[in-house]
Amino acid sequence: MTPNGVTAETVTRPAEPTEEVGQWAGQSVPRVEDRRLVQGQGEFTDDVWMHRQGYAHFVRSPLAHAKITSLDVSRALALDGVFTVLTGEEAREMCSLPFFQIAPEPAGKIEEWPLAVDKVRYHGDAVAVVLAETREIARDAAGLVEVDYEPLPAIVDTVRSADPDAPVLHEQVGSNVAWKGTYDWGDIDWALQNADNVVKIDRLHFHRFSSTPLECNAAVVHWDPGTDTVNVRSNNQMPMFASMVIGPTLGVASNRLIFASQDIGGAFGVKIGSYPQIAALALLSRKAGRPAKWTEYRTDHMLSAGQGNERVFLDTEVAVLKDGSILGFKTRAFDDAGAYLHYEPLGAVIWSQVCCGCYKLKHIRVDYTETLTNKCPTIPNRGYSRLQHLWFLERMIDIVARELGFDPVELRKRNYVQPGDYPYETPNGCVYDSGDLPRSLDMALDLIGAERWRERQRALGTGSGKRIGIGIGSTLDSGTNNFGQARIINPQLPFSGNGEAAYVKLDLYGEINVNLGTTPQGQSHETTAAQVVADVLGVKPRDVHVTAGFNQQQNTYVAFSGTYASQFAVTGLGAVKGAAERLREEIIELGAYALEAQPEEIELRDGACTVRDDPERMIPLIGIANIVYSNNAVLTPEMRDRLSLNARYVYTPPFHVPDPEAKTGNLTLTYASQIHACVVELDEESGEVEILDYAAVDDCGTRIHPQIVEGQVHGATALGIGAALYEAFEYDEQGQLQQASFYDYHAITSLDAPDIKVADIESPSPFTLNGAKGMGEGGGAPLHAICSAIQDALGPDDAVVSESHNTSERVWRLVHSGERGDPRGVTVSTRDSSE
């Protein structure tokens, strides 16, 4: 036992690699990628150089909403070293169609082009792009493009933007509503009537932030007139989606639009959103007859690369029984998509993968409105759309506990999905695969020594100027989307299911090569794919070469390929396993043929096929390869025709098409959980928050590589803490972004992050080939845990924590809200028991 009462088995330790064949998955083997990355031999997009390339720089709007009255590029063109300038109007003329819209009408009528045409809709909207000999000249020339704007009133508030009299961003839509619908499962009216207590929460607000990856967006795009192909070297993390959106716009067939990437310096979802720029660069390259290279500046990134979703929850009502059982809730959610719909409005359904969070809530109604505002378009950001909802649920639980006098731990445990409930079907038809939430919570509380802190909290009393709060964040990281949920947004969309492809082959001298459909950004796909293949083919991971990165002309893929949405361990490694097993069958068949044995007698290990109980009869993999590649006359014609030692496999999860009417269906395959607990100390006179203790308990099913899991847990935790305390994108009334550089946007660093105690449970998923669940995004648990802890530290008369972003000033105002008599933002109505 550790001092905190955690048994040693539950604490993650780096596993010592063993040499035992067939056991590589589950070990923290050294990462293959590290050697090149730490020696500066990685290849990021900015490292790519093409003959005759020019450098691109975008001209961006300084205003949030304005008509473009004139655009003059003559001064820019006159600058020595400028190749060309592409304007929005020219780009539109070169395009076949505007970008495909996911939204149904009327928002489906939005016309978005690679560059803004006629008007700009946010601070940072690109109106032109320059190509020049150097980056410096391109930037200078961009400054010489003269644009006259006629300012229009800006709208930055998501709730007000839905008003009929709000300034409209896209005239053809007629309003700023991107999507609107009611999710109604169970019978919330009945629940509210029959609850002993109804807790009403006026307003909760989840703020905008992003993951600010170390590497900003980048691309080198060449519209090659010789082959009439468009080659895109980029760090876009979902290239097939990008291809499907921009291909029709550019009028380029997907077999001539070639995406490739090697190393990517973090993406977190944000790098799904670089497709408009890539489309503009393709047109720029076409116009200039040169490759166009673009490496985004940080300020450009912050202004325009995409920010996380901001959401407001109004008029929430929670139905609670005397014993603390929560029947359900209703709320009105407004989600701010920004100026254009990039991947949106999918966020308007993706939250419902976790509609009841960790809890057995049966009655739920959410009136959901997604709006357009004069702000940077949102883009999926780590925990996309679910973390906003999970934060809302965790605030709801803590507020109910506080108002009705329940212990927040006991209230959670009472309402959690219990270990015996799995597979657990939620009110909207999602199926939670496995887990042990109460035990995870106990482990997290033990890690921080919660009892000890409760005593400290009591002993501290008043007058010390300090307050201690203990907080919990209970989250699910839903992984492996069923893309059929898009039909809940737009029934016309012909999407459903999911999948990933992999290709495993035995090469000329018996070497094993793997390539993937994914675009890893630090998730160690080369390492983990090698582990899986090594187990199937009876070799060591170092005998398996996994091609670094993705190249559409070499790698295999499906439309869902890419690296996003917590799914590689399930889909990517599922595909790798399937392909390796197909190859194994061929190797064994060939081995049996060569050794004149039955396939059942063949053992594949240590790089050779051996006849069981007769080790003298053996053929190494080089011999197997020889037969197929350079000695095929020894085979029968039928075998020659069938066996190639090249195996492709597409993993597909067992999904059905969801019901768009009822808005139900199995929307995701796996549900990893993260239960976080933390202790904060608030300074009463300044509102400064110090994290005194922090623990994260992760359950992502069977882990392929525990250390890589732990690294992602640390990353997600740090990001969440940063978002809770420091990181925010805020716009003033005129739509000016207030934090457009790291001077003003304080991304969390190691100086801010506390020591994070980590433990894990492995509840294998019964739905996946390897028991693994997607992970990596996390459900934003630190936001929930820190808000919960701040709430815990506040007095009974103080306002509730209603913002996800809590600066020192905001906390200071909360600490003194009771003294000032501020509205608490919450009311309770209790049913008269005599009724």
Partner 1 sequence: MLLESVAYARPETVDQALEMLSSTDGAAPLAGGQSLINVLKHRVASIELLVDISRLEELRTVQDRPDGTLEIGACVTYDELEHSEPARAAHAVLADVAGHIEDQQIRNRGTVGGNCCLSDPTNNLPPILVALGATMNIQSAGGVREVPAEEFFEGYFTTAVGEGELLRSITVPPLPAGGGAGYSTVAVGADSKALVRAAAMVRADGQIEDARVVLACVAPAPFRHTGMEGALRGSEATAAAVREASLVIGEDLSPPGDVHASADYRREMARVVARRSVWQAIEQGGGRRG
In the DSSP assignment, the letter for residue 760 is: E
H/E run at residue 575: helix 573-595
Q: What 3-state class would DSSP assign to 728?
A: coil
**CA dihedral for 291, 522, 475, 791, sign (positive or negative):** negative
Q: Does the footprint of partner 1 cover residue 55 (CB under 8 A)?
A: no
CA distance 514 to 576: 8
Q: Which two tokens stand for residue 163?
A: 């008003």
Give the one residue of 807, 818, 822, 831 binding partner 1; rule: CB under 8 A: 807
For partner 1, give the closer residue by CB, 10 or 739: 739
CA distance 578 to 768: 12
Give the one residue of 654, 751, 821, 835 binding partner 1; rule: CB under 8 A: 751
Whether the upstream peptide bond of residue 706 has omega within 30° of 0, thus cis, is: no
Q: How far is the CB of 740 from partner 1 (least distance, A)?
A: 11
CA distance 697 to 716: 12
Query: Residues 810 to 829: which contact partner 1 by CB under 8 A?
Result: 812
Q: How far is the CB of 139 from partner 1 (least distance, A)?
A: 6
For partner 1, give the closer residue by CB, 738 or 830: 738
Radius of gyration of the chain (CA): 28
Q: Does the footprint of partner 1 cover residue 463 (CB under 8 A)?
A: no
For partner 1, give the closer residue by CB, 412 or 805: 805
CA distance 683 to 555: 55
Residue type, 780: G
Residue with tokens 């003559």: 74
Q: Which residues contact 549 (CB under 8 A, 6 or more apart)?
A: 43, 260, 261, 262, 263, 519, 520
Q: How far is the CB of 750 from partner 1 (least distance, A)?
A: 9
Q: How far is the CB of 786 from partner 1 (least distance, A)?
A: 14
Q: How far is the CB of 738 from partner 1 (least distance, A)?
A: 4
Q: Does the footprint of partner 1 cover residue 464 (CB under 8 A)?
A: no
Query: Residues 96 to 135: which contact partner 1 by CB under 8 A?
Result: 135
For partner 1, give the closer residue by CB, 661 or 743: 743
For partner 1, give the closer residue by CB, 317 or 693: 693
Q: How far is the CB of 807 from partner 1 (least distance, A)?
A: 7
Query: Residues 133 to 152: which contact partner 1 by CB under 8 A?
Result: 135-136, 139
Q: What 3-state class would DSSP assign to 256?
A: helix
Q: Does the footprint of partner 1 cover residue 692 (CB under 8 A)?
A: no
Q: Where are the alpha helices (DSSP H) in 697-816?
A: 706-725, 781-793, 808-815
Give the one residue of 254, 547, 734, 808 binding partner 1; rule: CB under 8 A: 808
For partner 1, give the closer residue by CB, 99 or 812: 812
Q: Which two tokens stand for residue 727?
A: 């990181």
Contact 392, 779 (CB under 8 A): no
Q: How far is the CB of 410 from partner 1 (least distance, A)?
A: 35
For partner 1, give the closer residue by CB, 171 or 744: 744
H/E run at residue 531: helix 525-537
Backbone phi, psi, residue 80, to 5°: -60, 130
Q: Select from 369-377, 487-495, 623-631, 739-747 the region that touches partner 1 (CB under 8 A).
A: 739-747
Q: Select from 168-176, 380-388, 482-490, 805-813 the region that touches partner 1 (CB under 8 A).
A: 805-813
Q: How far is the CB of 141 from partner 1 (least distance, A)?
A: 12
Q: Does the footprint of partner 1 cover residue 691 (CB under 8 A)?
A: no
Long-range contacts of 36-40 (CB under 8 A, 24+ apart): 36/263, 36/548, 37/263
Q: Select from 229-237, 356-364, 647-655, 737-745 the region that touches partner 1 (CB under 8 A).
A: 737-745
Residue with tokens 């995406």: 259
Give the one residue of 163, 451, 809, 819 binding partner 1; rule: CB under 8 A: 809
Chain centroid, CA 510 distance in Å: 38
Q: How far is the CB of 685 from partner 1 (least distance, A)?
A: 5
Residue with tokens 């045409």: 117
Backbone phi, psi, residue 9, to 5°: -65, -25
Give the one residue of 688, 714, 764, 825 binding partner 1; rule: CB under 8 A: 688
Residue 803 vs residues 354, 629, 630, 724: alpha-carbon distances, Å = 21, 64, 67, 9
**CA dihedral for 247, 248, 249, 250, sign (positive or negative):** positive
Q: How far is the CB of 521 from partner 1 (least distance, A)?
A: 24
CA distance 33 to 520: 11
For partner 1, give the closer residue by CB, 631 or 749: 749
Binding mask 713-732 for partner 1 (x = CB under 8 A): ------------xx---x--
How many binding residues for partner 1 (CB under 8 A)? Answer: 22
Q: Does the footprint of partner 1 cover residue 47 (CB under 8 A)?
A: no
Q: Does the footprint of partner 1 cover residue 564 (CB under 8 A)?
A: no
Q: Does the footprint of partner 1 cover residue 686 (CB under 8 A)?
A: yes
Q: How far is the CB of 804 from partner 1 (least distance, A)?
A: 16
Q: Which residues contact 571 (CB under 8 A, 6 or more apart)?
A: 480, 498, 499, 500, 560, 651, 653
Q: How far is the CB of 295 from partner 1 (least distance, A)?
A: 11
Query: Residues 172 to 231: which contact partner 1 by CB under 8 A?
Result: none
Q: Select from 158-166, 431-439, 554-562, 746-754 the region that touches partner 1 (CB under 8 A).
A: 746-754
Q: What 3-state class would DSSP assign to 333?
A: strand
**CA dihedral for 336, 337, 340, 346, sign (positive or negative):** negative
Q: Does the footprint of partner 1 cover residue 603 (CB under 8 A)?
A: no
Q: How far is the CB of 73 from partner 1 (least distance, A)?
A: 20
Residue with tokens 């009591």: 458
Q: How far is the CB of 678 from partner 1 (least distance, A)?
A: 17
Q: How far is the CB of 531 from partner 1 (least distance, A)?
A: 36
For partner 1, give the closer residue by CB, 39 or 750: 750
Q: Does the footprint of partner 1 cover residue 633 (CB under 8 A)?
A: no
Q: Which residue, 436, 383, 415, 420, is CA-closest to 764?
A: 436
Which residues make beta-bridge pairs with 366?
183, 331
Q: Which residues contact 820 (CB under 8 A, 6 or more apart)?
A: none
CA distance 373 to 122: 8
Q: Which two tokens stand for residue 438?
A: 């109460």
For partner 1, give the closer residue by CB, 301 or 577: 301
Q: How far is the CB of 702 from partner 1 (least distance, A)?
A: 37
For partner 1, give the closer residue by CB, 202 or 752: 752
For partner 1, give the closer residue by CB, 455 or 809: 809
Strand ranges (E), 101-254: 119-120, 126-132, 146-151, 177-185, 197-206, 218-224, 229-234
Phi-psi region of 190 (alpha: psi -120 to 50; beta: other; left: phi over 0): alpha
For partner 1, give the closer residue by CB, 2 or 739: 739
Q: How far is the CB of 795 from partner 1 (least distance, A)?
A: 19
Q: How far is the CB of 525 from partner 1 (least distance, A)?
A: 31
For partner 1, give the closer residue by CB, 320 or 783: 783
For partner 1, give the closer residue by CB, 702 or 807: 807
Q: Does the footprint of partner 1 cover residue 44 (CB under 8 A)?
A: no
Which residues make beta-bridge pairs with 58?
129
Q: Does the footprint of partner 1 cover residue 46 (CB under 8 A)?
A: no
Footprint on this chain of partner 1 (rule: CB under 8 A):
135-136, 139, 685-686, 688, 725-726, 730, 738-739, 743-744, 746, 748-749, 751-752, 807-809, 812
